[in-house]
Amino acid sequence: MLLQRLVRYAEENVTTPPFHREREFLWRLDLFTDGRAPELTSLREQDGKRRGQRHVSPAVTRTVGVAPQLGADDLQYVFGWGDDTTKPQRVAECHEQFVALLQEWADSAPDDVAAQQVLRFYRDENFPARREEAGAKEGVLIAVDGELLIKRPSLVRFWTTEVSRRKGGKSPRTGLCLVCGKSQPLVESMPSTIPKRLVPGAGNDVALVSVNASVFGYDLTTGLEHTPICFTCGNAVGSGLTHLLGSAHAMNLAGQDSRMVWWVIGADEPDILSGFSSGPDPGQVDRLLDRLWSGDLARAADLAESVDSDERFCSLTVGGNASRIMVRDWIDMPLPVALLHMARWYRDMLMATPAQDEPVAFGLWQLVLATGRWESQRNGTGRYVEIGKKDGRRREHVQRDLLARALRGVPLPLSVLHHVLHRIAADGRIDAPRAALVRLALCDPRDEESSVSAGLDENNDDPAYLYGRIFAHLEKIQYKAHGRDVNTTFGDRFMAAAMGNPTSAVMAGRKLATAWLSKIRRNPKTRTAELALRATLDELFYKINQTQPLAGYLPVRRQAQFVLGYHHQRAEDARQARAYREQHGDASGDGPDDA
């Protein structure tokens, strides 16, 4: 089914000629029919990144063997120029076969002026001088009188025939294609590859279907004898997947082990999917959640599954291993089912923040970013280490885990929660994206309603959650007493230990709070605030005394409750402070303090 979906996508979206794909070229060889000398020009952009020009050119799978492309290829093929990474004998063979292929094309098109001019160039061997910076495997275009050879109609026709000859094997076969279901000439190996730049972890260009060693094939056979695919479908699979992996629907964050692409069949693209990676539009999230809470999405999903809806959501996640491509995940489900999973993803990920009154949703990159290491600055600010940096301490498959939660509707692996809690303890940093990750890990997407609140839950009597709230309130009291210029805060001293066993840290904080509250009471500007702070602290401890005491080191889910209690309390304090300032103005100084 995967191959059939890719072929259909290629038929509807890909316009490149058969057996062509885009690649980068750093050089251009210009030939002229008026007798001018050949010219070799660098195509590198002057931006310091040494990028060249990208063109769609003839291409066929090339692994370890010599296999020239037509009209444009590496310098070792076009000129026979090697370097310290190549072997002279192999370079000579590459060049010889490239020229031989051009000869065959020219013989098939005797009236093509460009083809005949290229033959004269190689017959005269009036090659331009080699540049010192030219590498043997850098791409070079060939043009005659300003027109690229790869654009010549006779070249495109000949190349289609040539690929059929190469990929048909020594004994060309005709049979039933497992993709299109028609009797067609079959390929011996896939005619096109996926560029390695599009497949994380790939060391070379890769093919989606490959049996180039007996150990990989059924009955220890090589080739696609037991995987019959026709030439048309073989080309469409490669071109369709390449188009998808390079499209705006591809999701790949640096340092992650996979790239995910998605597309929709039989329906318009839902707006909510476009912002999934970068950051969703709040209005779109609200509309999706309204459909969830009304029951409309669940009814639509049940109906789509019962009648096998033609409106489909497809998603493919791939990674590389040397010259092999790995399908890490493949999703083909009714579109309403995918939207139901997405709605539950946002339902369980919404999180209160100290800066906004309503809970917010985050994009995939924000969540992956928050799983990395936090770098504190001397001025009290900080930032997460960039995605892709080795010292970011991110798990290389966290993107995959989050995508499975969002699209398949499966719970997050407990390893994600372990990792996030470890980073919180190591960094001393709890913010809204990390709290959203914790909430996602605690909520089961199969439940009709979220089991964990997005904001402060006054009815949550879990002692770990209450201790988190008390910890946040003790920090608030310290800030009210001493301001923000505290060298080592209560959180700096006790956060890591309190996550595992908060009892001793909170008891120590309660003793410290006596002095902090006394200082607040002595200050005329904050005297009335002391009463509110003390009352809230007493109320929280009263709730703790009504629950069963914590015993020993907290298991991971109880640690997650502590984190949420801490974050929810800080976000609620900040919301109340904004409301107080709006009502009384900024000059009072006796109201609640920001978290």
- Positions of the chain with pLDDT under 50: 587-595
Does residue 338 sit in helix, strand or coil? helix
Give the pLDDT of residue 586: 59
Q: Please report the DSSP string for 142-187 in residue order.
A: EEETTEEGGG-HHHHHHHHHHHHHHHT-SS-EEEE-TTT-SEEEE-
Side chain identity at residue 568, one-letter code: H
Q: Are 262 and 249 within 8 A, CB to CB?
A: yes
The CA distances from residue 230 to 9, 81, 165, 194, 236, in Å, are 17, 36, 13, 18, 10
Side chain identity at residue 318, one-letter code: V
pLDDT tens by residue, 130-170 = 988 899 999 999 999 999 999 999 999 999 888 888 887 66
The β-bridge partners of 383 are 375
Residues in the chain: 595
Q: Which residue has the tokens 């590459």?
A: 94
289: left (phi over 0), alpha (psi -120 to 50) or beta: alpha
CA 100 from centroid of its chain's CA atoms: 43
Q: Are 93 and 66 within 8 A, CB to CB?
A: yes
Q: Are 396 and 254 within 8 A, CB to CB?
A: no
Q: Are 320 and 202 within 8 A, CB to CB?
A: yes
| Nearest CA-CA partner of 558 in 466, 471, 465, 461 | 465
Going by their DSSP bridges, the two strands 356-360 and 183-186 should be labelled as: unpaired
Q: Are 81 and 91 within 8 A, CB to CB?
A: yes
Does residue 519 sit in helix, strand or coil? helix
Give the pLDDT of residue 187: 87
The CA distances from residue 207 to 105, 286, 319, 487, 561, in Å, are 27, 41, 12, 57, 46
d(CA 96, CA 116): 17
Domain ranges of the chain: 2-242
Going by their DSSP bridges, the two strands 312-321 and 324-334 should be labelled as: antiparallel
| Nearest CA-CA partner of 205 in 168, 241, 157, 248 | 241
> Which ranges in 489-526 belong to alpha helices (H)?
490-500, 502-522
d(CA 563, CA 557): 10
Which segments of 36-76 are extended strands (E)? 39-42, 53-58, 72-74
Count the neighbouring beta carbons within 10 Å of the beta carbon of residue 294: 10
Going by their DSSP bridges, the two strands 27-31 and 139-144 should be labelled as: parallel
Side chain identity at residue 550, one-letter code: L
454: left (phi over 0), alpha (psi -120 to 50) or beta: alpha
Count the neighbouring beta carbons within 10 Å of the beta carbon of residue 449: 9
d(CA 68, CA 88): 16
| Nearest CA-CA partner of 259 in 271, 274, 249 | 249
Q: Which two tokens stand for residue 299?
A: 């009814």
Give the pLDDT of residue 462: 93
d(CA 229, CA 212): 15
Does residue 22 sit in helix, strand or coil? strand
Q: Which residue has the tokens 């048309």?
A: 232
Going by their DSSP bridges, the two strands 374-376 and 382-384 should be labelled as: antiparallel
DSSP label of 190: -
Q: Are 28 and 40 within 8 A, CB to CB?
A: yes
